[in-house]
Chains A and B, each alone.
Chain A
């Protein structure tokens, strides 16, 4: 019999891929249900306006149109689009605007027709009379006297003022050699999953049961929220996340269209499909970042930083989506980064503006924090004429100090920041790179070396860290079932949409039972099949979902050892799983086939005292802490002073995500993360004009990077296992994004340093860089 290899730690091809590369996968838009109708939403062309009147009759009269509803028609029928994060002012968020629109793209009316082209025709027949109002666009002016108010009931555009004071900061500032002050802006970004959002709903009037297919990262949380909005029992509502074409945080949400489509399916007693168009995606799917921070850093001549203070202005947009006001907190708590900075204080003013809501986007608060921390290190280096590497080393937490409490009150689990940085510097050959840079500068070339050492939070975490109103916590769930034929079914509460847990979890299960990876089937994303789970976000899939899986695996291993023990007359703790057998650890030749143990459990002809029949275990895993992956990225770039274009010469990334289960998939996550981080540094920004018109409403105007805009990534890893979970994993979904943004900005600014340019706001587009060079040269 062929020996079954081990799978964990191997470069395993993904089990998801055959269906995806052949066109056989089923995304929401691929669903075809008998009698299915198409819904389309008419959206506001104004950022801020009163709705005077809506003329729907012409649309209703069009042949093939089944129904047309305005916001007024649906008043009191569907609950508010939910926000579970705490804030002083949480407005009612209707699924379609009622009386007033507050951002470009807000839904005003919905058409339901027998075919999409007819629905589009009907949309064009709706006439809306608007009375435009002045829009609030600049978040720093939202609280000025006389600013138009978005939500009149609050009398202010303040969402909330969060403050984390610390008197030790002032003391440190007094003692510092220098207080370095700067303003930093993390611009507004669009997540742009390649698959836009979409929802299909089907009402079964006989069973009074609703099924909702939605392109979501959180099927169970969505079910809970929809049940509340629609006043349905959660036992009568099934949510399915079919194939999901990317999320990046944008699908960690509950959207107006989800409840709307569900309501339409019930009201019309027909299946209804709504598929988001890209323009709707750019204007009506959550954005990320949009945080301004005013920093004060207490620094000493040797590079030591003793305190950081920040005032943030955070643009929340017009309404609060699921976690909108919870995101900035991470930026504040994590902005001391990898550094033993003893004192931290910050204040965050969150404001309403006439824009789409911001919420989680890959990294969610930690990219902002890492950007602040790493720009800060370079500012300190520049101020005192120190090497940025030395400033980082000076301030790093030493590896002996872990677990270590941070100024933000977090406990970093494990780390070895010097090691990752040293490895990255070795790969780039730092002294040589600096020498080459000096040589290039002599020839008038603008070559820069950027360094970023980041730490981030994953697998959040203990449930107490999540908003109290969120149904569900920071835990995750699993069921493992060994079927009568010895094949294994895994039901996981996480909801992967590209991350590859169908593969990673199969690797873990195959090794645990000594079976082939092909014998394991991982099922996710269907609330009627899978026990309640939390979903995939915050790099928690393997970090929290993995340990949850292993709890169930452990329960079944225990049970099977007990069964085998009676069959083999050997103590259970002496038995191991290997090559489809249960074998004696000390003498592997003494074994019985795994199938025999399974037969005994299911056949149950000889009842085993204390053991129930069957082989099925469900577990819920609550982590005791978050995990804190880290790493160092180094980029070498050259800026062309004639065009402002940044060219990559090298890109090196050393990431430490704890133990690595699937090296190929980890690489993929880091690559994609780096690409999105570079996109923030150099290319992307959501732009609204002064009237609140969205300028970047298509992919022609919003610069998602293409293959020829990104470098070849050179990767390496260090492995510092997390003590938080038994797998020792830390999470890797967001790491690349968090490290790469400050790395690239630092590199470009290092290139421009001879011109006296200290800082430029992202994105560092050619035009902006070219203007800065021109102005600097003019000043001479």
Chain B
């Protein structure tokens, strides 16, 4: 089937198997391997991307469901040479160790901050309920998201 969509601001057109999952399309067809597959059951959230501005788990979305949509992956979050404040936050606050869950964490966090610019730690923890991390015990991830939230608020105010 013919799939037209925009990924990270670039328009693409591909012939895809109707049963192909979005995550496999992104990784194997579009070559964007920053989005990871961790469980295939939409529990771990490593595959989280933005579909028309909302975080979705791309392991449980068919590629064809993204027809005409705008997809943002970890590779396209920054929109420029500088890191996105969330990427900076994860780096500054040691919000990752093995890094496998990180792209999904960041994409989920970006969705949260778009809806709630000034979340409490508890709200962050609730928002991450669909993303598993086995390395960090989450505290540094919460700090990383708070770092980014502050930075984004400052950017908006300026």
Contact = CB atoms under 8 A, between A and B. Distances in A.
A672 B36 CA distance: 21
B38 A500 contact: no
A623 B134 CA distance: 30
Nearest to A698: B41
A538 B43 CA distance: 29
Interface string B79-115: 0000100010011101011111111001000000000
A771 to B, nearest CB: 26
Interface of chain A, main secondary structure? loop
Contacts of A713: 137, 139
B151 to A, nearest CB: 14
B132 interface: yes
Interface string B45-83: 010000000000000000000000000011100100001
A25 interface: yes
Contact of B46 (A194, A248, A665): A194
B150 interface: no
B19 interface: yes
B117 interface: no
B149 interface: no
Contacts of A18: 83, 91
A95 interface: no
Interface string A661-686: 00011011001111110000000000
A246 B134 contact: yes
B33 A17 contact: no
Contacts, number: 171
Contact of B87 (A14, A22, A193, A706): A22
Size class of the B contact interface (CB-based, 8 Å): 35 or more
Interface stretch (A26-34, A50-58, A310-318): A26-34
B30 interface: no
A194 B97 CA distance: 11
A707 B121 CA distance: 10
Interface residues of A, number: 57
A197 to B, nearest CB: 12
A13 B91 contact: yes
Nearest to A503: B94
Contacts of A278: 38-41, 44
Contact of A117 (B19, B27, B87, B128): B19
Contact of B129 (A279, A665, A706): A706
B3 interface: no
A244 interface: yes
Interface in A5-24: 13-14, 16-18, 20-24
A425 to B, nearest CB: 22
Contacts of A26: 33
A719 to B, nearest CB: 20
Contacts of B140: 667-668, 671
A665 B94 contact: yes
A243 interface: yes
A664 B90 CA distance: 13
A244 B99 CA distance: 9
A116 B19 CA distance: 12
Contacts of B124: 707
Contacts of B126: 707-708
Given A22-B87, A29-B33, A194-B38, A246 B135 contact: yes
A675 B138 contact: yes
Given A16-B99, A194-B98, A707-B141, A672 B40 contact: no
A421 interface: no
A672 B141 CA distance: 11
B32 interface: yes
Contacts of B22: none
A710 interface: yes
A93 to B, nearest CB: 27
Interface string A442-453: 000000000000
A497 interface: yes
A612 to B, nearest CB: 40
A20 B27 CA distance: 16
Given A22-B34, A245-B98, A699-B43, A706 B128 contact: yes
B98 to A, nearest CB: 3
B24 A13 contact: no
A194 B33 contact: no
Contacts of B116: none
A372 interface: no
Contacts of A30: 27, 33
Nearest to A12: B94
A700 B91 CA distance: 30
Contact of A671 (B19, B99, B128, B136): B136
B96 A17 contact: yes
B142 interface: yes
B103 A708 contact: no
A192 interface: yes
Contact of A698 (B27, B39, B101): B39
A704 interface: yes
A528 to B, nearest CB: 23
B97 to A, nearest CB: 4
A670 to B, nearest CB: 8
B7 interface: no
A277 interface: yes
B100 A27 contact: yes
Nearest to A699: B43
B97 A668 contact: yes
B43 A23 contact: no
- Among B44, B137, B142, max chain A CB count under 10 A is at B137
Interface string A694-716: 00001110001011101011000
A668 B91 contact: no
A498 interface: yes
A499 interface: yes
A196 interface: yes
A712 B139 contact: yes
Contact of B98 (A277, A497, A673): A497
Given A22-B74, A707-B128, A707-B142, A668 B121 contact: no
A196 B135 contact: no
- Among B17, B121, B135, max chain A CB count under 10 A is at B135
Contacts of B129: 706-708
Contacts of B39: 278, 698-699
A698 B43 contact: yes
A196 B38 contact: yes
A24 B41 CA distance: 24
Contact of A21 (B43, B46, B106, B137): B106
Contacts of A29: 27, 33, 36-37
Nearest to B123: A708
B95 to A, nearest CB: 8
Interface string A262-290: 00000000000001011100000000000
Interface string A388-418: 0000000000000000000000000000000
Given A22-B34, A29-B37, A244 B125 contact: no
Contacts of A13: 91-92, 94
A671 B35 CA distance: 25
Interface string B4-27: 000000000000010110001001
Contact of A699 (B31, B92, B132): B132
Contact of A23 (B24, B33, B92, B139): B33
Given A21-B103, A193-B100, A194-B133, 11 more contacts: A14-B91, A194-B38, A244-B98, A248-B134, A498-B97, A668-B94, A671-B139, A672-B97, A673-B137, A706-B131, A707-B142
The 5 closest A-B pairs by CB, nearest first: A23-B34, A245-B100, A20-B99, A675-B137, A498-B98
19 contacts: A14-B91, A21-B96, A21-B99, A23-B32, A117-B20, A195-B98, A196-B38, A246-B100, A278-B40, A668-B94, A674-B137, A700-B43, A706-B129, A707-B126, A707-B133, A708-B122, A708-B126, A708-B128, A710-B139
